[in-house]
Amino acid sequence: MIFLFAWRYFKAKKTTNVINIISWISITAIIIGTTSLILVLSVFNGFEDLVKSLYSSFYPAMKITPVKGKELTLTPAQLSKIKGINGITSLSLIAEEKALLQNGDYQSIVYLKGVDTAYTSVTSVGAHVVKGSFNLGTSESPLLVLGVGVENAVGVQSDRNIAPLTIYMPRKGDVEVSNPMQSLSSDTVNTSGAFFIQQDFDNKYAITNLAFVKRMLGMPANMYTSAEIAIAPTADELRVQKEIQQILSAGYLVQTRYQQNQSLYSVMRAEKWVIYAILSLILIVAAFNMIGALTMLVLEKKQDISVLHALGGDSAFIQKVFLSEGLLLALIGGGAGMLLAVTLAWLQIHFKLIPLEGGSFLIDYFPVKLSLPDFMLVGTTVFVIAVIASWLPARKAATQQFMLHEE
């Protein structure tokens, strides 16, 4: 019955047309605010999924690193136990160090990553090779797979370079101050291909075989810089992480993919919440219009309020009627805004209406992903703002003195 009164007040003809105008302005502002919030949050979801997919191409599901220093020791017995954990599908041993890559007058500092044959089972870097092939060679005849940024920096065509590149790496042990070049090991190496994932990787990494990097660094047999692990999609990530940590000592750090990129994900979430807070101001502006519309409606319906009092309606009932009037405005605006957001998102997903300018990204359109929690969040926001905006006029109506006729 309360919503019936609210609906009748909403659609009834008013003596002052400005009330209708302000009411529709309120609804329009709510529509714009709701649509904007859902679309912007959906675009953030789309970019978040895209970034996660790019980073998951390079970062493994789980990674073992030393707590201190750059190197760790993994014995065959430890590796056997880790591989036997239920849920682990593959394990790749890594030796990584900064190196100077030189091609004549061109040179670049790179992260040289030596990997074993299981690496393509742990990450999908091999699937992102855009030139040549993912061939890492051997210890004596090494081959490099370069990021496309590194490829440009050293001026080679990775799939058909003629002259080998020269690579310099630090030797393990004390530095000779009198002759620092003695502390470096060097070798020549050819390239076999180039990968293209994301600038953070494309501009920094060169991948080769594990034996070559260990030989250059002079690393002992059981020493590595990290171990990368793939787990089954249905595996309990936290259980697997705990079991690996139990096998290893406290000097080893076992991180999930999220923990490896925690700062990135935290920044992305913070940006999303900041944008949500800023766009919520549109709904707050709509609330001021709603307060004005409801206040004028209360003044117009003074006689109706008196009739309701005379028929037995108490102050709480009157207050609920005008609260419902505000919620009705929010329901119409919020519902229409959500429908408009879904329509625009569907058009963007299927027809790519809004392009992504610049041409340097992997995609040329704004990615969109609709999420039910976003709809619930925006719906709750609209509801709370509507209740707060409606309370003051509703309270004014409930405490108003009633009279059936004016003197």
Taking only the tens place, the pLDDT of each residue in 138-176 is: 999 999 999 999 999 999 999 988 889 999 998 776 556
- Identify the CA nearest to 2 among candidates 390, 289, 376, 382: 390
Residue 123 C-beta-side C-alpha neighbours within 13 Å: 27
Q: What is the pLDDT of residues 182-213, one digit of tens each?
A: 678 899 999 999 999 999 999 999 999 999 99
Q: Tokens 């990290």 appear where?
A: 226
Q: Which one, of 346, 335, 324, 344, lies nearest residue 378 by Cα?
A: 335
Residue keyed to tokens 């609260």? 323
User: What's the CA angle centered on 253, arms 251 and 259, to 5 degrees?
Assistant: 160
Tokens of 324: 């419902």
pLDDT digits (tens, 9 = 90+) for 16-47: 566 677 788 888 989 999 999 999 999 999 99
Identify the pLDDT of residue 312: 66
Q: How many CB atoms lie within 10 A of CB 233?
A: 7
Structure tokens at 373: 């929690």
pTM, full prediction: 0.80
What percentage of the chain carries pLDDT values higher than 70? 87
